[in-house]
A and B are shown apart, each in its own frame.
Chain A
């Protein structure tokens, strides 16, 4: 008998709010979390906007000030989301900590420019040029001794494991924009195999920094439009021309169904299908027919023993990158056939931007909320759909509707695809 994996806790911190309630409310109201960049002085940079998490106070989630200095922003955001999710689940009272694990996705962390810049500038020769023969000493004396620890990706998971004494399996997935979805999928497999009863699964990312933003700008995948920031992210719209950089974190408590029942937990949904693939096409562009996306959706449905008629809602990748949006639309049409136009598919990235590694986790939470509250968030800024983008993207306003099965799709740079299927609990227990 296969063990079943259910969601019993939710936590999120996003550009729309520093907890899930505010985030979800913002989504249903169709608000935008995009605003002027405050993370660095952006007067010389276009775009001057991004989807930042606002007024985040990490000391709320980390007792020791000293510990905060070792944590990059993605670690801090993950700790916040994890604590909110664990509190929501009430799982701590009854879980064996050796059977509890942490499995998150995260992104690449760039250097703290002010700090590393100072270390580099202290290593200049008489002509003002960088001199490696001085850097060993001058670099060391100008860098915070534990700076490296802010940049080790798995510490995102480890700080959470340490906080809870969670000694079960832990991992960190770094597959860019599919990290969160893959982390949730892999965590579910661990429970399915019986190697943990509870997994904290999700992702965090924080890339609103100079090096990342310049990188995305140069690659031509981020919008630089001079327009009202709240209208800059416009998935599936004819004026979409790149993503808006976002940041955030979401963590789900995944639990073995019997364990959840035994402790009388509230169960939000069951994770019934996981499908992974790559399109093996290009390190940045999507295969034009979305062949990887087609495979991941089909594999998830096969895994869940469901077909397209069972699916009520799709949370798409919807990155606001024209080629991606079109490839994704084509892939959904190829897999869903006639049903494609009947399944609402709304992109929350229209409101929170592209949160990179975190998006899969945040969008998984969106699917679970949609199932539980019988409402799906809108795709805002969808004024005039792009050519070929003729599906039901739930434009502008949220829609009340029953959702029993929701499909969350994520597609990442490097060609990764991940599809997750969540199902409500009433229908079949």
Chain B
């Protein structure tokens, strides 16, 4: 008898709202969180926009101390989202149950401190444009904050959750680019299924909205340059889409073995019933032209879920707003669902939140779960111009009321990483 895994707690820090209620309200109302970047001077950057988390103060959501207030944004978002998710789940914040509780995140690395690096590099000149490395060593010894740099490791958000609650079960972090937190949730589901834990705190966090992130993705021609009208820049599946928009935040869910949840009379949001994962094994940044990996991930997730394709009423798409992703994802959905693809409700909530990179999948599984709970499908905003390559129903611009029995969340990442998760309404 397979152990069943349900979602019993949700917590989110997103560019359109902090806390699950505000996040959901933003999604249903089609609120866009994208604007001109506020944290540094973007005048010389090709792309000047991102979806930043606004008015965030960790102390509003979690206990803070001198140490936690110094942590980078990504860890702070994690701490807040985890606290919200655990409170939401009704699990006691302290106690013996934590000894067997694990953490599996798909968190990214902390944003590099460019000002500090620049300080070290600018002092390390030798009269020419290059950095004098022996001098750089001395300046690094003088200036570099080793502890802060150490905490930028991608495992630290998971480690801080473990420390905060005393979680001593399996603790891991995977960093599979834009699929990371979906994959983390999938793997946490496996850990519970196998019996290695009854409760897993899972999800992801990332804050890739810094200057180096902006330059790196711009150079790959991946970002929208619609700086004039930021709130319409991210337009998944629209014919005029021109790239994705960087975002930041955290999404944390409490995943729990079903009988464990029932015993403690927990509120059950949804059951995780399928997880499919594959690699394109094609190219580093391009998707396979026939979307072979994406198809395999969706199909594997559906096979495991043992539901008829017609039971899937909603797909929260990866939908990045790049020309290639949206076209290939459409192709993959058609291949996996056949004619039924045209009757599916598909939306990309990235149109509102931007792309949270490693955290995207978790934020989107939360959106998917809330859609299932409320029978409301959040829209794809900025959808105005049909693209013949994208001819499915993307729930344009207005949220839609629709009974949802089961839903899929897709995440695809650089390196050909594909993840699909299937969640269903709890049946009891």
List residues of A whose CB falls within 8 A of some B CB. Answer: 40-45, 70, 97-98, 101-102, 107-108, 111, 113-114, 116-118, 120-124, 128-130, 132-140, 143, 145-149, 151-155, 157-159, 161-162, 164-176, 182, 186, 189, 193, 195, 210-211, 214-219, 276-284, 291-292, 295, 299, 412-416
Q: How does the 8 Å CB contact mask read for B42-53 relative to A, with 1 for contact and 0 for none? A: 111110000000
- B285–A149 contact, CB under 8 A? yes
- A143–B219 contact, CB under 8 A? yes
Other A-B pairs, 10, CB within 8 Å; known A118-B130, A136-B215, A280-B98: A117-B130, A120-B117, A135-B114, A154-B413, A157-B415, A167-B280, A169-B277, A172-B175, A412-B155, A415-B159
- A149–B284 contact, CB under 8 A? yes
Contacts of A149 in B (CB 8 A): 220, 284-285, 414
CB distance from A128 to the nearest CB of B (A): 6
A282 vs B173: C-alpha distance in the bound complex, in angstroms?
17
Is B151's CB within 8 Å of the partner chain A?
A: yes
Indicate which residue in B103, B194, B281, B416 contacts A189 across the interface (CB closer than 8 Å): B194
A306 vs B45: C-alpha distance in the bound complex, in angstroms?
59
- B174–A219 contact, CB under 8 A? no
A425 vs B243: C-alpha distance in the bound complex, in angstroms?
53
Contacts of A416 in B (CB 8 A): 155, 159, 171-172
Is B289's CB within 8 Å of the partner chain A?
A: no
List residues of B whose CB falls within 8 A of some A CB. Answer: 40-46, 98-99, 102-103, 109, 112, 114-115, 117-119, 121-122, 124-125, 129-131, 133-138, 140-141, 144, 146-147, 149-156, 158-160, 162-163, 165-177, 180, 183, 187, 190, 194, 196, 211-212, 214-220, 277-285, 292-293, 296, 300, 413-417
Say whether, besides A143-B219, A153-B175, A412-B155, A162 and B137 are in contact (CB < 8 Å). no
Q: How many A-B residue pairs have CB under 8 A?
A: 288
- A210–B279 contact, CB under 8 A? no
- B129–A167 contact, CB under 8 A? no
- B163–A130 contact, CB under 8 A? no
- A162–B136 contact, CB under 8 A? no
CB-nearest residue of chain A to B133: A41
- B167–A278 contact, CB under 8 A? yes
A182 vs B158: C-alpha distance in the bound complex, in angstroms?
14
- B150–A43 contact, CB under 8 A? no
CB-nearest residue of chain A to B151: A283
Contacts of B417 in A (CB 8 A): 154, 158, 170
The 7 nearest A-B residue pairs measured at CB: A218-B146, A158-B415, A117-B131, A136-B44, A136-B45, A148-B216, A414-B159
Indicate which residue in B42, B175, B220 contacts A148 across the interface (CB closer than 8 Å): B220
Indicate which residue in A101, A133, A280 contacts B163 across the interface (CB closer than 8 Å): A280
Most buried by A among B140, B165, B277, B414: B140
